Amino acid sequence: MIHLSSPHIHGGDSIRMTMLSVIFALMPAAIVSVYLFGWLAFLLITVSMFTCVATEFIALRLMGRSATPIGDGSAALTGLLLALTLPAYLPWWMVVLASVIAIVLAKQLYGGLGYNLFNPALAARIILLVSFPLNMTAWIIPMHVGTPVINLYDFNACLNLLLFGPEALNTALDAITMASPLGHIKTEWSQGVAVTDALRAYDYSYLDAFLGREAGSIGETSALALLLGGIYLLARHTISWHIPLSYLATVLVLAAIFNLIDPNHYAPPLFHLLAGGLILCAFFMATDPVSSPVTPLGQVVFGVGCGLLTWSIRTYGGYPEGAMFAVILMNCTVPLIDHYFRPRVYGRAPDRSNRDA
Amino acid sequence: MLHTLLKSMGIGGSFSGGIEPDMSKITADASISTSLMAPLYIVPIKQHIGEVCEPLVSVGDTVYKGQKIGKSQGYVSVPIHAPTSGRVIKIEEHAIPHPSGMGLPSIFIEPDGNDIEDRSLHPFSDYRNTDPAELRERVRFCGIAGLGGAVFPTFIKLLKDQRNPIKTVILNGIECEPYLTNDHRLMIEKAKEIVIGIDIIMHMVGASKAIVAIEDNKPDAAEAIREALNEVSLPDEVQIEVRLLPTRYPQGSEKQLIEALTGKEVPAAKLPMHVGVLCQNVGTTKAIHDAIMLGRPLTERIVTVSGTAVPRPGNMKVRIGTPMRFIFGQHGLDDFDGIHLLHGGPMMGEKMKSIDIPVIKSTNGLLAMHNATMKQAHKLEQPCIHCGHCGVACPIKLVPNMLADQCRNDQFEKAEQYNLFDCIECGCCSYVCPSNIPLVHYFRYGKGQLAQISRETSFANESKQRSEAREARIAREKEEKAAKRRVVREKHKPAATDAESDKKTSDTPPTDEAST
Amino acid sequence: MMHLLAAVASFGLFALAFGVLLAVACRIFKIEGDPMAERIESLLPQTQCGQCGFPGCKPYAGAVASGESEVNRCVPGGERTMLKIADLMGVEPKSIEEEPTAPMIAFVREDECIGCTLCIKACPVDAIIGAPKQYHTVIADHCTGCTLCIEPCPVDCIDMLIKPELLEHWAWPLPDTHRAQQATERKGQHAPYTA
């Protein structure tokens, strides 16, 4: 028996329980994704999760290490999260590539679980976006939204699409995709159209955005499904409220201020909140424990930084969506935040010197 | 911030951080039994924080119960007394309840079965009109140390200091460790003695206010104390109140208790007296009562015998020096295969390497746990996932995961900067860690290494000073010898006439001294 | 062409100006003595045993600072001192060749001592007390375990005993977990970390 010091009782929490609880929290979003994107979503999630776990297994064995860590569920979670950030249609090899990048490049090469600097799913997504911009911004028209060209509930059609591309279904990528709300207002603004007009032309409705009936990556569209999962995680204390609250509040405040100043140029705050992958990032990506700060105050600083960057990139940047870039950029600052934003120690002044009685 | 504001107003009443484990108070209703006479008593010469005692008896001596058998040395030390009457059969090293398994010289007493008491100490019947210094000396003489587990010599705290007057005495009846119920039962069964003990303490330090702090899972104990407060006649100016606090661990830790009751924090590297507070465990308080009112030194204490592997758990009055095997035997446990023994509670107690170790003043609990229970707590250590739960649970608001990382990687100076020495080793961080990292173990390793480095550095500096002093001495001696030689040569120079000496000084160069 | 000449001239002037500045600074802020040797000496355990091949800790520190000697010669200092010296000098750590031994204390068997004072003269920290024709004894608290007193004794009455471990100096070892072992292994492979 290993002779370890006290304490000799344990609360029972484990990495596996943590990971499984997050996977469980993502189930509403996964279910909605299948409702909107049919078998494409299902295949995407399955391929991604399987490849991630298999890649981790192979990577660990190649490094001469024991493969038991795949049982902690972190690779499976990365696979699920990655899939939820991808457009419904990607060539199968891009999905595999994304999974391999996430696990090998962004996780195992740093030393495995607990050592990665960046959020693996987001890092892989960004690499893919920059490498394959066309495919990564081709948002498939979801079912129950407008008139879809292909029936996504047809398994054969989806499988053929995944394996052989739109040509296999005698159609082209342009025909089966549409712009996301964020993409739409950015392109319109570059042509001088005001935000409010652009949204009206798009037939935008806040209700649709909240429920998820809009174009986007398969997991980011439904704010409702994601919020359900987020509230579950908060209630279970898997994540703390600091990051989601500060992140969303910062975006809200910034958007509100600028929208008041110039409603033509700056989108309304509620639009920003429901658009793109903000809620997905705020509750599931930015809160990834390994790549986010450890101290509560540090987490607030992190959330504010993410919010600032997200809004700025969305408004002024070249890309329509800035959430993933924001989180990755803030991930770089986490060791610094951890050092400088430690809580005040009991019995000491905030500068850690001895206090006078 | 709102939290602190409320606490300082007496609302809310808890500290930040902490955990709420399963309390397992299975012996809460077991009234205190008395241990049978053991066949042998082994009394180590140090059972407290501070210097070891010097044995006052020799092999073959007859001793009586309560007789002083070890003299305290130095200021931070208290004497030890014989637990029963009998004969000293040997004085040699024996294992003590220490995680290292190391031992200390101990006095072995074979009881004669008559339990004759040494009645040389007279009771102070009217302590309120006795000089506190006399009472303090009695507390010291009776060998009383903090029975909550810290075993700090009590008399040192009971000083009426003009520079740091005590305004409030806090009686620690919290007992936040799972399984332990000895203070609980003591408060129910000896409430009057405890209340008198409180009054004695208040008289000794000149305080007029006292709070008896009890966790809210012990309402019967609170009731018993309240009844005793009504029955015992106390001076009018004395105010003693009973306060129930939420059941959380480590509510019974001195710093956290003061934070919960007064809203104030004890400054780092300072003591409760610097915020006008004195904390005393209820067991220690009862021992003070016995020392003053009955003239009895500390020779026994209440021990909770519990755990998953004990057939008949209970609370027992045990004499200091009783072998643990004998105690477990009286609770139905004889076979120790596949069982681990903990000295103290499960959060801060230590695993014992042997069963034949004596009970000492700090033994507040003896737990026998099955292998399976222990394995559940010490699972495979996985990498830290920076979830931050340890920081939330830490009552001192450190960052345990960073500290453990630094200690594991020999960055001890950095760990010290991150306030490693402020850690109270309560174990909350290890309890919540999902990666099963033995955080407290890493901290203890780091603290030990830093202490060792500090010792080695000061020894190296002293050695350097001695070496330099020696070189200076040798150089000085050489110089003195050279000076003597010059004097001798001057004295023994051949005498010369003026003319010759003139010639000599101009022609002959001075001869070189021959080396001896 | 003029632009090129102007660029070359301006860069040349900058280089000259900074060169002069550096030379002046070097002259003004020059420190007497060899601070590196002093810093290395402060890391050594001051045993003055000579096992490094030098007559004391100060000469060894000087030799390391000037590059004459390796960083791994100090046996009592052990691995930890070697890593600190290597870190200070900015060189690769080199493992100590000798096996580390437990700390030792010299002990004089007094009934065999003939009172010759040879060991007293040999001790570099004056840890042996005694007088001619009187028993000699080692002050245990001052002894550094350098073993320089063993050889001079003509009757071989000095033993090196293992320093007893005191209970109050006992410290918890590293946890016996796989990760702690990994950390120990990795420390041997990487350069020392500057905290």
- Which of B430, B432, B439, B444 best probes binding to A when mutated, by most A CB atoms within 10 angstroms? B430
Nearest Cα residue in chain C from B474: C121
DSSP B504: H
Q: How far is B234 from chain A (nearest CA, A)?
A: 32
Could you tell me the two tokens for B415? Answer: 């760990």
From chain C, pick out residues whose CB is under 8 angstroms from the CB of B459. Answer: 45-46, 144
Nearest Cα residue in chain A from C182: A65
* Average pLDDT of the residues of chain A: 91
From chain C, pick out residues whose CB is under 8 angstroms from the CB of B460. Answer: 44-46
pLDDT along chain B (516 residues), means of 10: 51 78 93 95 94 94 95 94 96 92 93 92 90 94 94 93 91 95 96 95 93 94 95 90 93 93 90 93 96 95 95 96 96 92 94 92 95 88 93 95 93 94 95 95 95 91 90 93 93 68 50 46
DSSP B426: -
Residue found under tokens 């009846």: B173
From chain B, pick out residues whose CB is under 8 angstroms from the CB of C172. Answer: 99, 441, 444-445, 448
Annotate C126-159 with b (16+ C-beta within 10 A) or e (fewer): ebbebeeeeebebeeebbbbbbbbeeebeeebbe
Q: Is B434 close to A115, i.e. CB distance below 8 A?
A: no
From chain A, pick out residues whose CB is under 8 angstroms from the CB of B378. Answer: 2, 4, 8, 10
H or E stretch including B211?
Answer: strand B209-215
Using left for φ > 0, alpha for ψ between -120 and 50, and beta otherwise, residue B144 falls in beta
Whether omega before B250 lies within 30 degrees of 0, making that bond cis, reads: yes
- Which of B254, B339, B370, B397 best probes binding to A when mutated, by most A CB atoms within 10 angstroms? B397
For C75-130, write each residue's pLDDT tens digit: 888 888 888 888 888 888 887 777 777 788 999 998 888 988 899 988 988 999 98
From chain A, pick out residues whose CB is under 8 angstroms from the CB of B1. Answer: none
User: What pLDDT does residue A1 have?
Assistant: 39
Residue A123 CA to residue A324 CA, distance in Å, equals 8
User: What pLDDT does residue B514 have?
Assistant: 45
Q: Is C56 close to B467, i.e. CB distance below 8 A?
A: yes
Q: Is B438 close to A5, i.e. CB distance below 8 A?
A: yes
From chain C, pick out residues whose CB is under 8 angstroms from the CB of B414. Answer: 195
Nearest to B408 among C124, C165, C180 (CB): C180
Q: Is B383 close to A355, i.e. CB distance below 8 A?
A: no
CB pairs under 8 A between A and C: 9
Q: Of the candidates B396, B20, B364, which has an alpha carbon nearest to the alpha carbon of residue B172?
A: B364
Nearest Cα residue in chain B from A15: B434
Chains contacting C (3+ CB pairs below 8 angstroms): A, B
Chains contacting A (3+ CB pairs below 8 angstroms): B, C
Nearest Cα residue in chain B from C144: B463
What is each CA distance from B121 to B117, B156, B279, B293, B361, in whole angstroms?
11, 21, 27, 10, 21
What is each CA distance from B354 to B99, B146, C174, in whole angstroms?
10, 25, 22
Nearest Cα residue in chain A from C172: A5
Q: Is C175 close to B441, i.e. CB distance below 8 A?
A: yes
Nearest to C167 among B104, B380, B441 (CB): B104
User: What pLDDT does residue A167 have?
Assistant: 85
**Mean pLDDT computed over A112-121:** 94
From chain B, pick out residues whose CB is under 8 angstroms from the CB of A290. Answer: 385-386
User: What pLDDT does residue A3 have?
Assistant: 72
Residue B55 CA to residue B80 CA, distance in Å, equals 9
Helix (H, G, I), strand (E, B) or coil at B219: helix
Nearest Cα residue in chain A from B351: A5
Is C97's Cβ below 8 Å from some Cβ in A? no
User: What pLDDT does residue B493 have?
Assistant: 81
From chain B, pick out residues whose CB is under 8 angstroms from the CB of A352. Answer: 419
Q: How far is B469 from chain C (nearest CA, A)?
A: 8
From chain B, pick out residues whose CB is under 8 angstroms from the CB of C187. Answer: 409-410
Cβ–Cβ < 8 Å for C175, B438? yes
User: What pLDDT does residue A258 have?
Assistant: 95
User: What pLDDT does residue A350 have?
Assistant: 84
| Residue A50 buriedness (CB in 10 A; 0-12 / 13-18 / 19+) | middle
From chain C, pick out residues whose CB is under 8 angstroms from the CB of B98. Answer: 167, 170
**Mean pLDDT computed over A88-111:** 95
Residue B336 CA to residue B371 CA, distance in Å, equals 11
What is each CA distance from C109 to A257, C133, C144, C155, in whole angstroms?
88, 15, 18, 10
Residues contacting residue C3 through CB under 8 Å, at least 6 positions apart: none
Residue C195 CA to residue C192 CA, distance in Å, equals 9
User: What pLDDT does residue A193 have?
Assistant: 86
Residues contacting residue A60 through CB under 8 Å, at least 6 positions apart: A66, A67, A69, A70, A108, A112
What is each CA distance from B429 to A14, A342, B161, B238, B378, in whole angstroms?
14, 16, 37, 40, 14
Q: Is C176 close to A3, i.e. CB distance below 8 A?
A: yes
Q: Of the candidates B265, B258, B292, which has an alpha carbon nearest to the alpha carbon of residue B168?
A: B258
From chain A, pick out residues whose CB is under 8 angstroms from the CB of B348. Answer: 6-7
CB pairs under 8 A between A and B: 166
Give the residue ranges of DSSP H helices in B83-167: 132-141, 154-157
Q: Is C176 close to A2, i.e. CB distance below 8 A?
A: yes
Residue B482 CA to residue B192 CA, distance in Å, equals 82
From chain B, pick out residues whose CB is under 8 angstroms from the CB of C146. Answer: none
Rg of chain B on CA atoms, in Å: 31
Cβ–Cβ < 8 Å for B207, B166? yes
Could you tell me the two tokens for B122? Answer: 């007279």
Nearest Cα residue in chain A from C175: A4
Q: Is A2 close to C172, i.e. CB distance below 8 A?
A: no
Nearest Cα residue in chain C from A3: C176
Residue A213 clears pLDDT 80, i.e. is over it: yes
User: What pLDDT does residue C182 have?
Assistant: 78
Q: Is C172 close to A5, i.e. CB distance below 8 A?
A: yes
Q: Is C178 close to B469, i.e. CB distance below 8 A?
A: no
Q: How far is C190 from chain A (nearest CA, A)?
A: 15
Q: Is B381 close to C179, i.e. CB distance below 8 A?
A: yes
Is C170's Cβ below 8 Å from some Cβ in A? no
Annotate B6-23 with DSSP letters as a single string: HHHTT-S---SS-B----
Whether omega before A28 lies within 30 degrees of 0, making that bond cis, reads: no
Annotate B37-84 with DSSP letters as a single string: PPS-EEEES--SSSPPPEE---TT-EE-BT-EEEE--SSS---EE-SS
**Degrees (nearest 5) of the Cα angle C184, C190, C191?**
120
Nearest to B387 among A1, A18, A345 (CB): A18
Q: How far is B47 from chain C (nearest CA, A)?
A: 12
Q: How far is B240 from chain A (nearest CA, A)?
A: 25
Residue B4 CA to residue A293 CA, distance in Å, equals 25
**Lowest pLDDT segment from A111-125, C81-95, C142-156:** C81-95
Q: How far is C188 from chain A (nearest CA, A)?
A: 18
Nearest to A347 among B267, B351, B388 (CB): B267
H or E stretch including A49?
Answer: helix A27-62
Nearest to C46 among B104, B463, B470 (CB): B463
Residues contacting residue A345 through CB under 8 Å, at least 6 positions apart: A352, B268, B396, B397, B398, B419, B422
Nearest Cα residue in chain B from A7: B347
The residue count of chain A comes to: 357
**Mean pLDDT computed over A141-169:** 86
pLDDT band at C23 (very low <50, low <70, confident <90, very high): very high
User: What pLDDT does residue A8 have?
Assistant: 93
Is C177's Cβ below 8 Å from some Cβ in B? yes
Chains contacting B (3+ CB pairs below 8 angstroms): A, C
H or E stretch including B213?
Answer: strand B209-215
